[in-house]
Amino acid sequence: MTNKEIGSKFQELAQLMEFHGENPFKIRTYQNVYATLRKLNEEVGTLTEEQLQSIKGIGSAVAGKIRELEDHGEMRTLRKYQDMTPAGVQEMLTIRGLGPKKIRMLYDHLQIESVGELRYAILENRLLELPGFGVKTQEDILQKIQYFQEAKGQFRLATLDVVAERLLTRIKAIVPEWEGQPTGDFRRRMQVLSEIAFLVPTVQLKQIGTWASELFTSYQQSNGELAGIFDEIYPVRFYGADDANWGSELAKTTGGHMWESFEMPAQPFQSEAEVFNALQLPYITPECRDLRIPDYSTFDPDALIRASDIKGMIHVHTTYSDGINSLDEMAAAAKSSGYEYLVITDHSKSAVYANGLTVDRLRNQWDAIDAWNRNHAFTILKGIECDILTDGSMDYDSDVLREFEVVIASIHAQLKMDEEKATNRLIRAIEHPNVHILGHLTGRLLLSRAGYPVNHQKVIDACASNQVSIELNANPFRLDIDWTWIPYACDKGVRIAINPDAHSVRGYEDITYGITAARKAGLKRSECLNVLGKQDFIDYIRSK
Ligand SMILES: [Zn+2]
Ligand SMILES: [Zn+2]
């Protein structure tokens, strides 16, 4: 082992001990070993016991541990602390600049056990309630974990969209006549993906090739393809094509599950429309090419939901619970974006971490909503995101629940459940007579936290028999219900509510990712809940 490797083991030990609140003197000793070893000229493995112990800061205990590492590649004390620390916490400790003290506080106060949970807690502003954590600290930590996670090679679509924009600005400075087009998983709008891809005219691919060393951290070129790493971590791929085979190459590089049922025509085509024509199919929208439908010939691209079809924003938080913007600000923003109505759904009373609403504070909010509605030509509906408690009961009595115009039921706590427990918990909530919409069905956070396991079929069936709509949570971290289950829900007649779960005015923009996921599922306008105009929406909700 090198001095650096050995030093890192001591550093890890010191961090774990600090997390567990051990003797600060010992911790300091182990912290110093790292610095000491890094300064040594010779490798410690070559030193005798005596030489080792003569180094300032290395006593017999430390020397013994170094020997252990040299001889067995392992240190028992370190193993002991690793075993008593959740894996997610150990991962958090490897994020530079976060540190054991902060992690301990997050663990104790917010039960945060993984990088994913931490990331999401920041997005919900939950760190602000802790001493020493301000908006600045939150942002700082968010940046650190963003880099940490994405360095692992998987990205959320929303992240790559931003990167792609930055990349295109650079490219267009080099290739002003840029005619590239997105392709691959990126064009099919996969929610988690490993690269950005473009189809590019061969001439322009050559131009990019000439500038590759300026554009990319590293790159490779072969067979009319160029693959590079942009901004140190983001993989980008360019495929070359010409007018004569543009359509065929675009269809081929876009890919998708549908090509398991269809053979790509051998003859080259200029446009994708011609490719589908040759197959006697309607034009299959790129994001829909992963659909597993028995008969693609009935596919109607014009029936697919579009962002402009959405009439109302459902599932919005304000400063009454854990949102950043006030009720007035959220309402004004929804109104000026042209929506007809807004369903404000702050957290219910058990969600203490999110400043959940007591019945008294609810009444204040309702007064504020009434006042707004009197003074504006725009309707706020009184909603709630009501916690589903551990046993599946709701967080308010029915008397209170009845007073809301819209009730979303969501699970936020006690997420560790087996499939049966989770499924029953959800179904009990769905069967509650005052529940209208089931919020983020599995609780998953993409690339951050797996959801609890659920029997989707049973949950969807229960929604169908109780006229409960299912939310497609549009937050790019959630996109929950998973799009692959939407066709089944629609078959059963369940309406899909595409909800931003906005915690700020900016959060409204997430709706586009919900629309994308819905389109991937082939969701038709008529199958969505919030395409209904205000009165139709109210009538539909009340008809339960
Ligand atoms: Zn929620
Ligand atoms: Zn929410």
Q: How far is the CA of 483 from the centre of ligand 1 (A)?
A: 18
- Amino acid 513: pLDDT: 97
- pLDDT value at position 295? 87
Domain with CATH 3.20.20.140 in the chain: 307-542
For ligand 2, the distance from its centroid to the CA atom of residue 109, given in whole angstroms, is 20
Query: Diameter of the chain by CA atoms?
Result: 85
Q: Check residue 106 and give its pLDDT.
A: 93
The pLDDT value recorded for residue 151 is 66
Closest CA to 507 of 325, 269, 283: 325
**Separation of alpha carbons 57 and 154, rounded Å:** 42
293 CA distance to ligand 2 centroid (A)?
32
499: β partners = 473
CA of 98 to the centre of ligand 2 (A): 27
Residue 438 is predicted with a pLDDT of: 98
Q: How far is the CA of 66 from the centre of ligand 2 (A)?
A: 50
Tokens, residue 138: 């939150």
Residue type, 68: E
- Phi, psi values for residue 79, rounded to 5°: -55, -40
Q: Is 3.20.20.140 the CATH classification of the domain at 307-542?
A: yes
CA angle 368, 372, 377 (to 5 degrees): 165
Residue range 344-395, pLDDT digits in tens: 999 999 988 788 999 999 999 999 999 999 999 999 999 999 999 999 999 9
CA–centroid distance, residue 319 to ligand 2 (Å) = 13
Q: Which residues of 497-528 are buried (b: 16+ CB within 10 A; e: fewer)?
A: bbbbbbbbbebbebbbbbbbbbbbbbbbeebb
pLDDT at 405: 98
Question: Nearest ligand to the C-alpha of residue 501?
Answer: 2
What CATH homologous superfamily does 155-295 map to?
Beta Polymerase, domain 2 (3.30.460.10)
* 500 CA distance to ligand 1 middle (Å): 11
For 3-85, give the CATH class.
mainly alpha
Cα-to-centroid distance, 317 and ligand 2 (Å)? 7
pLDDT of residue 367: 98
483 CA distance to ligand 2 centroid (A)? 19
Distance 386 CA to ligand 1 centre (A): 9
Ligand nearest to the CA of 388: 1
Distance 195 CA to ligand 2 centre (A): 30
**Residues of CATH 3.30.460.10 domain(s) within the chain?**
155-295
Query: What predicted TM-score, i.e. pTM, was given to this entire model?
Result: 0.79
- Which residue, 492, 501, 453, 120, is CA-closest to 317? 501
Q: For CATH 1.10.150.110, list the domain ranges present in the chain.
A: 3-85
Residues of the chain with pLDDT under 50: none
Measured in angstroms, how far is the CA atom of residue 541 from the centroid of ligand 1?
A: 20
